[in-house]
Copies of this chain bind each other. A is one copy, B any other.
Amino acid sequence: QELGDMKFGKGLLNFTAKDSSFSLKFAPRIQFRSETTWNYNGDAFEDADQAFFIRRARLKFDGWALTPKLKYKIELGLSNFDIGGASVYTNNAPRYILDAVLKWNFYENFELWAGQTKLPGNVERVVSSGDLQFVDRSLLNSRFNIDRDIGIQLHHKINIGEDFVIKEKLALSQGEGRNVVVGNIGGLQYTGRLELLPFGEFSKKGDYFQSDLEREQSPKLMMGVVYDFNHDAVKTRSNLGTYMELDNGELYRTDIETWFVDAVFKYRGFSFMGEYANRISGDPLARVPGESNVEYIVLEGEAFNMQAAYLFKNNYEIAARYTTNDYEDFTNVSDVEQYTIGASKYIVGHKLKLQTDLSYTTLNKNTDNLEWRIGFDFHF
């Protein structure tokens, strides 16, 4: 048994067993950055606050077992940002496991998934945090995405005519996020995502990484729509956010619906992504029945994000992004508007890259801050 022909960026280990009984790609990854913020105090920008972070560090195992039709993925978080969120719901333990999932292609174009992994939500979320064209994801994503959960998924695709591809992804999940040990408190979460690729598949699954590193020679487009229904949700942002623990010791439950519409376009180094998100709930005001005191508020609202970039021949990229988050008035959360410009040097694609971006943010139309970030991704 030999190892496969290895190359930086293709895994630290990458091989298929000689008897073809399994394959493995193993890769660690670290993301380091500096963030410098100038807050605006109403009159002027204050002195800078600067900080260094290991923002993400991960170990990833993936491949197939027994047959290429049975794929597995295990991804572990290492950084303190990755593993936070310990609570009684997670056995007071860090949330170490990101993905632990099997994917079984049991029939033609059908794939059954079982385990914990990302839900088929907005495309920006499903793109790996290691494959972004800015230093990090947008504010739409940070407040509206539906993240990872545990349960089962069914994925399917159809080819229509020469090129047109349609993909359907369905998920049945517990609805309270990842690494929960106390069982299902509210009801189940149901997610459906429909994707249209009118000009055919992107090169090397390019709809699910940012930047047109493959320099598509013909225009490629993916349009998606997601509907997510979290029955009797107990957290303020569907399966994310804070548990709504009422003063009477019970958890507040309400149905939460999340919609996403998104699109990805790539052509000859140009890339575009647009997203719209919307969250509503049965009754967003969490209070003990009969009491007037509102203890939690479901973060209802809508958000919009669009970003475009151009990748030069020398693998430098410039990018721009515009994001708005508009919350319902009763949430008492300020509306956010953010303008970002970014630049990346892809030394070995997304596996070794330097990135920087500069964001200007307003809260309720008032200047809030200016933030400059610079860092690298190092990913076998």
In the complex, A147 Cα to B352 Cα: how many Å?
Answer: 28
| A74-B1 in contact (CB<8A) | no
CA distance A305 to B90 in the complex (A): 30
Pair A65/B378 contact, Cβ less than 8 Å:
yes
A294 at the interface (CB under 8 A from B): no
* A50 CB to nearest chain B CB (Å): 6
CA distance A125 to B171 in the complex (A): 36
Q: With contacts A66-B352, A348-B66 known, is A74 near B22, CB below 8 A?
A: no
Q: How many residues of A contact B (CB 8 A)?
A: 73
Interface presence of A53 (CB below 8 A) = yes
Q: How far is the CA of A100 from the CA of B81 in the complex (A)?
A: 14
Q: Is the CB of A100 within 8 A of B54?
A: yes
Which residues of chain B come closer than 8 Å to A72, judged between CB atoms?
A: 378
Pick from A5, A15, A100 the residue with the most CB of B within 10 Å: A100
B57 and A100 contacting across the interface, CB-CB below 8 Å? yes
Known: A12-B24, A19-B6, A93-B94. A80 touches B183 (CB 8 A): no
Asked if A49 meets B183 with Cβ closer than 8 Å, knowing A19-B6, A24-B12, the reply is yes
* Copies of this polypeptide in the complex: 3
* Bound Cα distance from A51 to B83, whole angstroms: 22
Closest to A83 in B: B93
A7 touches which of B19, B85, B181, B378 (Cβ 8 Å):
B19
21 CB-based A-B contacts, threshold 8 Å: A6-B17, A6-B22, A12-B22, A13-B13, A28-B61, A30-B100, A30-B115, A51-B184, A52-B174, A52-B184, A53-B181, A54-B100, A54-B115, A65-B352, A80-B90, A80-B96, A81-B91, A83-B91, A85-B91, A86-B92, A86-B93
Beyond the given pairs A1-B6, A66-B348, A84-B91, 10 more chain A to chain B contacts, judged by CB atoms under 8 angstroms and listed by A's residue number, are A1-B2, A6-B19, A7-B19, A49-B184, A54-B179, A79-B97, A80-B96, A81-B91, A83-B93, A93-B94
Residues on A lying within 8 angstroms of B by beta carbon are: 1-9, 12-13, 15, 17-19, 21-22, 24, 26, 28, 30, 32, 35, 49-54, 57, 61, 65-66, 72, 74, 76, 78-81, 83-86, 90-97, 100, 102, 114-116, 150-151, 173-174, 179-181, 183-184, 188, 347-348, 352, 376, 378, 380
